[in-house]
Structure 1
Amino acid sequence: MRIDLADLNADPAVIAEALGPDNTPEMDVRLDGEVLETRVERASAGGLQSTVDDYVQNLGVAIRVATVATAEEGSSAADDSAKRQE
C-alpha cells in the first residue's frame, strides 16, 4: 500500500518513525519522499486483514499526534518570536 503524506501539516518521517514499534516481521515499511510504502505478507487472508486494520488504526493515531505536535511547535515558535519583539 502507498500512502501519500504530502498534504499533511506534519513531518512524514515522524509519522513513519511513530509506526515503527508496532511493525511486525511480516511488514516492510519505507518512506520514499513523502510517500509511505508498506508491504505486508501474511499466510492467511484473515491475518492480512488483521495486520492491515491495525496498521491503518495506528497510522491514523500517528497522523493526528504528529499534526498536533507540528501545530503546537509552530504556535510556540510564533509565541517565542512575539516575546522577543516586545
Structure 2
Amino acid sequence: MTRTAIIRTDVSDPEAVAASIRPDNTASITTTVDRPENGPDQVVTTIERDSTSGLRSTLDDYVVNCAVADELVQLAERHTTSTHE
C-alpha cells in the first residue's frame, strides 16, 4: 500500500522556491506551482512512499528544504532590490 501526502505551501516566490526544491525530487515526488483564480500562488508537492516512516522522513526533509529555499529567495530579493535613487 502506498502512502501519499500533498503539501500546499504559501511562499514569497512560488516559482523560485519550486525550482529550488525540484532537483532533490525523486521519482515519487512531484513539485508544481498552483495558480488558483482566487488566492495566492502556492508550491504544491506530492510525495508517495511505501511506508509511513518513509513518508514521515521525506516530509520532514521537504519542510526543512522548503523553509530554507523560501528564506534564501527572500534574502536574494532584499539584496537585488535597490533602495537608492
Structure 1 moving runs of 4+ over 3 Å: none
Separation (CA, whole Å) in 2 of partners of 1:39 and 1:13: 16
Which residue number in structure 1 is paired with residue 8 of structure 2? 2
Determine which structure has more spread, i.e. the larger CA radius of gyration.
1
Quote the offset at 1:24 in angstroms. 1.3
Instruction: Report the secondary structure of 1:78's partner residue.
Output: coil
Given the two structures, how large is their TM-score scaled by the length of structure 2? 0.79
Q: Which runs of 5+ in 2 are unaligned?
A: 1-6, 36-40
Give the alignment partner of residue 62 of structure 2, picking from 43, 55, 61: 55
**8 Å CA contact retained: 2:21, 2:31:** no
Identity of aligned residues (%): 35
Separation (CA, whole Å) in 1 of partners of 2:63 and 2:21: 10
Given the two structures, how large is their TM-score scaled by the length of structure 1? 0.78
Which residue number in structure 2 is paired with residue 22 of structure 1? 24
Q: Which runs of 5+ in 1 are unaligned?
A: none
